[in-house]
Amino acid sequence: MPETPNIADPPRPTEEATDFQAHRGFLAGLAYRMLGSVAEAEDVVQDAFLRWREVDRRAVAEPRGYLARVVSRLCLDRMKSASHRREQYVGMWLPEPVVAEPAHDLADDLSVALLLALERLSPLERAAFLLHDVFDMDYAAVAETLEANEAACRQLAARAREHVRQDRPRYPPSETEARQIADAFVAAAASGDLAGLARLLADGAVLYADGGGKRRTALNPIAGKDRIVRFYDGLKTKGSGAFTAFRVDAVTLNGLPGFVFHTPDGPHTLAIQIAAGAIVALYFVSNPDKVSHLS
């Protein structure tokens, strides 16, 4: 029978664990942005730690850069199989929601819109963009990480940057304004105020829903304020999904105002993207594999 550890005198962390811990947040952020999955990012970071334990750290001049290369290559390996899984995914795929305050380190680059834009890039384009534009690696380090020449990495990052620029909101709201609009939307939805919902939505607003085939929701994006209002009217009439919530937590999801709806069948999340004073996108995630960490 294993001994119970002495809580008052916990074991001292190993030297390699202490060294690695200083970079864990950075590595987890890189892996999440590359994979769009909290669980997979954690697995990659753990794999990187196991490799770190076997390395002669005296030969590592720059641990952060070395570990970034390890994590990037592990992510690239996973992304090859991820593309096949995406093709078989039931309905719309959205990244796993994470609670991240706007002031949090690099929270702007956790936005759902950015992560979806990254999904449309090739794995190498995504890696080059993230390493250079988000994590400030010079092109020499990016080239070493991707095992390519600098000129190719510059081209990869430039192509990615152009795609990403098209998806960034042109008129982002203040944090206060965004929260007020998001709160008003959820209040209107809960009360069945369809006219109130319509006033808050941009004409070209789009609702994206991810149930992963495990919870019933829209399989394709719903475009246009009128169609979104009808969708919410149907949910309210059926008393399904978020409308069965016994508790609603207002949070910040991926840098956006959002909500966690705690229901009898588990949590659901809604992140709301706002530009020029109106809601332009709604990201609803109910796939239990992606929201269980928010229970």
Domain CATH for 163: 1.20.140.160
Q: Token pair of 159, please?
A: 């192509």
CA R_g for the chain: 21
Which has the closest alpha carbon to 237: 189, 279, 269? 189
Q: How many domains does the chain have?
A: 2
**Residue 282 neighbours by CB under 8 Å, 6+ apart:** 205, 206, 207, 208, 228, 270, 271, 272, 273
Task: Give domain status of residue 2, yes or no.
Answer: no
For 39-96, the pLDDT digits (tens) are 899 999 999 999 998 888 788 888 888 999 999 999 998 887 766 566 778 888 999 9
Assess whether pLDDT exceeds 60 at residue 12.
Answer: no
**Residue 187 neighbours by CB under 8 Å, 6+ apart:** 193, 196
**Residue 92 neighbours by CB under 8 Å, 6+ apart:** 208, 209, 210, 218, 219, 220, 221
pLDDT higher at 118 or 82:
118
Q: Which of 167, 192, 215 is the last residue of a domain?
A: 167
For 176-230, the pLDDT digits (tens) are 999 999 999 999 988 889 999 999 999 999 999 999 988 888 889 999 999 999 9
- Residues 209 and 256 grouped into a single domain: yes
| Burial class (CB within 10 angstroms; exposed 0-12, middle 13-18, buried 19+) of 91 | buried
At residue 119 the predicted structure's pLDDT band, cuts being 50, 70 and 90, is confident
- Residues 90 and 210 grouped into a single domain: no
- Residues 142 and 271 grouped into a single domain: no
- Residues 36 and 125 grouped into a single domain: yes
- Residues 161 and 184 grouped into a single domain: no
For 148-158, the pLDDT digits (tens) are 999 999 999 99
Provide the whole-model pTM.
Answer: 0.81
